[in-house]
Chains A and B, each alone.
Chain A
């Protein structure tokens, strides 16, 4: 690009200080342009590669059958989907109330004490902790419970129809709680931002009418902040869905024979809702775990199957991001102060 341009050396018609470093300037502009568009290029190559490798394997059978370690033609992702689904549901049940609560406390209640400052600094640091370290935390606290109950006398509580193992072992609830801790900072920060965007005048008006602090928060602040919080929750879910390292440490299996709670279709839930109670304590596999298993198989057919799994994962993420963007745009327009 720059070679075609005349420089002071090549062209006597362009003297003067204005043209010094012209080549350098062009190179710089060109390089930064290329760097900025690089991401789009990489993304394009990415999707093309995945699509090409996945194409022969991505079909209805793939979505509706369990994994097969013997025949790649019969391998499917159904139990992985169920595993991820239950894991995310439980994670949301745990992380959203806690995360929103923490965000509310930090924005609405906390005074500027040392404790609050510690919490804030700590949140920034937690966001930088590698996910595998959370995996160790989950392994020790939830799966093994500090070895308080040694593996030999594996405890099982019988609560009528539910059997609660203690320690939790490599089950869905362990993974869900681990992922919940992992995404907590995301939810807290999103909540804080959403609450900060609520104008103070609304709070003042509510308090002036005699509402208590909690009434003000619950009736005025939270509803206004909900779209922002929801966007944060969706981002947290899309982060959790692809996390592989923590769930490997917690003990997800690459293949299982019984889906969690024995549920492998929506009909099963309708027929036997009691099975839902056993879901958290079932052994499980998850979408990214199955992808990892297939990608490391030595038989090349399975690499195509892995690509098909990735395609499913990316489509899910795309859908979640779409929903987040929709919520953001819709409510941004509606609420103007």
Chain B
């Protein structure tokens, strides 16, 4: 376009050249952006591949020059029966029974659910039905702040405050021994951690219940309690359940708070006042510790990781399914 005086070239030629250059540029940009979007898929594929490759079947061993033990995957060396059947977890003795880790994780998740789910839902009812706009404007940001606190801080709080200053004196009154690291303190802080999530997702579900339903309730002479408990909660039930499932996934995958607060005792016990070893805590301490980078103990990291990944994935897929399948649709 700049060569206006040049009669040999018509402006339209320039335009065409510019157009084709432009088209090329447009397509390049589109392609680059598409690659960016595809990276999220590569991430998932990468996670699945790595966990599978190191724990179920080692694809890379097919290409390895020496097919020694080093290149074999975890479950090619340890049987599934031992992994899911034995209660003995002692990697140094090459004993890999995942049940103690699984029970540790589930116990903490259970305690967390007892603490976090009721509080989360009740807070959501309060925010959606009872609270004044002013109250909401204070409580909502507080919940966001709570959600933004790093989990290691929660772990410190459990280890250095809840256990020594709350649990020990309280259970000391009834003569119960509380471990320096214990499942209860970990469960309590994980419970606190999931409150913001449960609350905000449940509140969203409750807010999307149409006004007309509430007004119909009030017109029939119901009180606020009746409307909340008998109209709004049932109508928002699918959303509430979905939030519970996501909270479970979060609690199962929670790492630092649990590592600090619950300890590293790979024994099968059901006493929440004693330390337990969760799956995530094992993964952290294996890596920060002594494991040989290519030995069997290192592979166990991937096997435990695979269990964890499958558990959380199932929770989040089911949660999305519940949302979709059981959502009440209103005109």
Contacts and interface: CB of A to CB of B under 8 A. Distances in A.
Interface stretch (B36-44, B89-97, B209-217): B36-44
B37 A110 contact: yes
A56 to B, nearest CB: 14
Interface string A24-60: 1100110111111111101100100110010000000
B26 A133 contact: no
Nearest to B283: A132
Given A132-B308, A212-B26, A296-B260, A122 B151 contact: no
Contact of B252 (A43, A130, A134, A307): A130
A181 interface: yes
B29 interface: yes
B230 to A, nearest CB: 11
A242 B29 CA distance: 34
A224 interface: no
B278 to A, nearest CB: 11
A251 B188 CA distance: 29
Interface in A90-106: 97-99, 101-102, 104-106
B152 A184 contact: no
B237 interface: no
A43 B159 CA distance: 17
Interface in A277-322: 288, 291-292, 295-296, 303, 306-307, 310, 313-314, 317, 321
Given A131-B255, A132-B255, A124 B287 contact: no
Interface in A60-98: 97-98
Contacts of A106: 37
Interface in B259-283: 259-260, 280, 283
B149 interface: yes
Interface stretch (B1-9, B79-87, B171-179, B312-320): B312-320
A162 interface: no
B26 A214 contact: yes
B3 to A, nearest CB: 21
A222 interface: no
Given A98-B36, A295-B156, A37 B139 contact: yes
Interface string B17-37: 000001001100110111111
Contacts of A248: 284, 287-288
A38 B119 contact: yes
Most A CB atoms within 10 A — which of B25, B54, B156, B316?
A: B156
A114 interface: no
Given A32-B123, A119-B38, A292-B260, A136 B293 contact: no
B69 to A, nearest CB: 14
B313 A98 contact: no
Contacts of B305: 132-133, 136
A245 B301 CA distance: 13
B152 A39 contact: no
Interface stretch (A3-11, A143-151, A258-266): A143-151
A206 interface: no
A194 interface: no
B139 A141 contact: no
Interface in A239-278: 239, 241-245, 248-249, 251
A214 B73 CA distance: 47
Interface residues of B, number: 89
A21 interface: yes
Given A36-B135, A104-B33, A131-B255, A122 B145 contact: no
A321 B256 contact: no
Contact of A29 (B38, B225, B302): B225
A136 B128 CA distance: 40
Contact of B195 (A24, A38, A104, A134): A38
Contact of A245 (B38, B255, B302): B255
A198 interface: no
A53 B135 CA distance: 31
A157 interface: no
A109 to B, nearest CB: 6
B224 interface: yes
Contacts of B192: 42
Given A42-B146, A43-B146, A126 B43 contact: yes
B131 interface: yes
A231 interface: no
A238 B135 CA distance: 26
Nearest to A253: B288
Given A21-B225, A140-B54, A213-B26, A321 B151 contact: no
B142 A185 contact: no
A201 interface: no
26 contacts: A32-B125, A39-B142, A40-B138, A40-B139, A40-B142, A46-B153, A97-B36, A101-B32, A102-B37, A109-B33, A125-B317, A128-B246, A130-B253, A130-B312, A133-B253, A136-B302, A151-B294, A185-B40, A212-B22, A213-B26, A214-B26, A244-B151, A245-B255, A245-B284, A251-B287, A310-B156
Interface of B: 22, 25-26, 29-30, 32-41, 43-44, 46-47, 50-51, 54, 60, 118-120, 122-123, 125-127, 130-131, 135, 138-139, 142-143, 145-146, 148-153, 155-157, 159-161, 192, 195-196, 199, 223-225, 228-229, 246, 249-250, 252-256, 259-260, 280, 283-284, 287-288, 293-294, 301-302, 305, 308-309, 312-313, 315-317, 320
Given A118-B41, A140-B54, 5 more contacts: A29-B225, A32-B130, A36-B135, A46-B149, A128-B313
Q: Which 3 A-B pairs have the closest CB atoms?
A: A242-B150, A130-B253, A101-B36
